[in-house]
Structure 1
Amino acid sequence: MAPIAASREEFDEIPTVVGIFSAFGLVFTVSLFAWICCQRKSSKSNKTPPYKFVHVLKGVDIYPENLNSKKKFGAEDKEEGKSKPVMPKTSLHLDLEKRDLNGNFPKTTPKIPSSSDLENFTPKLFPEREKDSVSPDSLKSVTSISSEEKQDKLGTLFFSIEYNFEKKAFMVNIKEARGLPAMDEQSMTSDPYIKMTILPEKKHKVKTRVLRKTLDPAFDETFTFYGIPYTQVQDLSLHFMILSFDRFSRDDIIGEVLFPLSGIELSEGRMLMNKEIIKKNVRKSSGRGELLISLCYQSTTNTLTVVVLKARHLPKADVSGLSDPYVKVNLYHAKKRISKKKTHVKKCTPNAVFNELFVFDIPCEGLEEISIEFLVLDSDRGSRNEIIGRLTLGASAEGTAGEHWKEICEYPRRQIAKWHMLCDG
């Protein structure tokens, strides 16, 4: 039994030995880790940052190699400023193209000029005198002349016309436009396209595709019009409208070309044409025309009856001198549109007879905050309808419009009609 008791005592001493060794190992590991951290921290503080950044505007090296970790950027400059005279800002120049792969500037030793170099050295003053000899007045005159020429010239349109006797079709090929003005001031380009209309009937309206960012667009698009007898070609005119596409507002009008076909013989085949683009001819008359309106206010039902009767002396909104007018009626309550109506389109007439009645429900009692707007527009299939004239009737209106509104308020249930002059849209 004695050997068994001795072995038990040995086994009891093993845990104490293991605990002592583990404690020494733990202390050694912690001290080693702390020493490694201290070494890394000291090595980082002694080294320069691993990258270099150069300020593009001033050419100043943010982390120059000659600075230590304890010095702040700008401290050395202050000390040098006290001892050395202040240099002008123009004297600081760093050639960024002469840096090596690491971004460092090569150290160059100043070259001592020899006597022969000093003899051959002559200051270059003659070019500077030539620059000074140019007066600002001459520059202004040159720029003004060039700007005026650019404003007057709107470019040239190239197209061809042809008549196919077999198919009885009239063909127009829009080839290209050259020298268009820039309508976008930021990119100094345009997004041109062309609308073409055969006058005077305006039945045939076509347009080309939009070409992006070009002042010399090459369209090369052919349009064929069937059902036009050859005998009637002499009575037609081609109207080209050159525009620049604008995504956020109305397209900009560059100019127009009007080409009458009278006196042109198409029996010999295709004919090539080129015409200068001119400004759009906006023919201003003494007025925008007149509109005959009849109003009646029903106080019992709280409704307003509006009758658009006639329009006369409407201005010529087209090159052909013919307009396709219609009237759009908007009802406003406290400057907010609550209802809208419109008449039918009357074709090719400056004196239109509409005679159409509209009934509006008034949301409040009385007409103090109610106003009616009449817009006379020219219908155009190929583009947005242009406003010919505008008329507003309400309590704040002046002239005949204010008198007309006062009469319908004083005499309800009575139909009162008056002519009104249209103003610019």
Structure 2
Amino acid sequence: GVRSRRGEQISMQEHFAINVCPGPILPIPQISDFFPRFHDYPCTPPPPREKKILKEETFNGEMGGGFKDGERRGDNSGDREEVADSDDDDSEVIVFDARPFYPPEKKTCAHTYLGMLEFTLLFDQENNCLHCTIHKAKGLKAMDSNGLADPYVKLHLLPGASKANKLRTKTLKNTLNPVWNETLVYHGITAADMTTKTLRLCVCDMDRLGRNEFIGEVRVALKKLREGDNKRYNMGLERIAQSMDPTEISFRGRILVSLCYNTEKGCLLVGIIRCAHLAAMDSNGYSDPFVKIILQPDMGKKSKYKTSVKKKTLNPEFNEEFSYEVTLDLLAKKTLEISVWDYDLGMSNDFIGGVELGINASGQRLRHWFECLKNKGKKVEYWHTLTQQGAPSSDKTD
């Protein structure tokens, strides 16, 4: 045998283990089943295992021993956004390994520098538009194997339909300091929206394999933006946990409608101007929308009209006008049903949302109707929110 520095007798088996294992010295039973266990009491032999006699396992070309799947240093079963995690700062994990041991890394998502985004916002209340100019980003996190990224910026109004109100810039290749200078415009944004909505700007990396990866985001509460102010922002990107807001599911979009009662011709002129932020009904993330209008109680075929179909868009422009021959007295007792549909060839069309204007309406819908009756000969335009309260009962999906 060999004597240790303390003068204790060391068996050849233990001496052999010390020579081949430069890591922490552990009791023999913790190292391997290869070595016999010495007890002063009888014990049941351990159940048979696969033979791993001092043999290091190979993980993706690297040598390492004793790690389970997902526990090896640097191993990450998730995407590249996550790193190894440890729940206890004071815990020390001792593992038999031929390499020096390093404690698990902590998550650094909240403190990792992801880059800066520079952009300008302008609210045009007269035209109900929000102009978002994306200038540039600096020092973005590298996402590709070449140490670069293919970044683009995606805009999303919260709350809102998950796909309907998203805009995005073009993609710039192989850069961590992209310059877009691109203006994206949201139509149908009212002063009331500016007090309740938040603009989310996400910077993403376009993957050549079709998997787009999230880099970071910033959020701006629009209530802080004053009408007519061209406000420039330079904000650091963050990782913010996404949550599903119930209002995002129920919101179906908006429609801009004009009403005018022509006293000379004795008719109501209904203008379907445009829609904004419609809910996506097709698998490609878009819809093929068209609008139907009915003046109730039903006046026969003369009471039903529909616009042309606009392909693959969530923000269609129609600019179509329809006429109803009706006296002002009768018109005051009627209801105008407006519904937006997604056209499907050879199938029944999908209902996106609708709105009713008339004496039984409330809020802005009632105000629009009264202003039309009061201001004869004047065209009155209003944006209206589409609801999911079902398609008009008297309507068909043709």
TM-score in terms of structure 1 length: 0.34
RCO comparison, higher one (Cα < 8 Å, 6+): 2
The structure whose Rg is larger is 1
Instruction: Report which of the two has the higher share of helix.
Output: 1
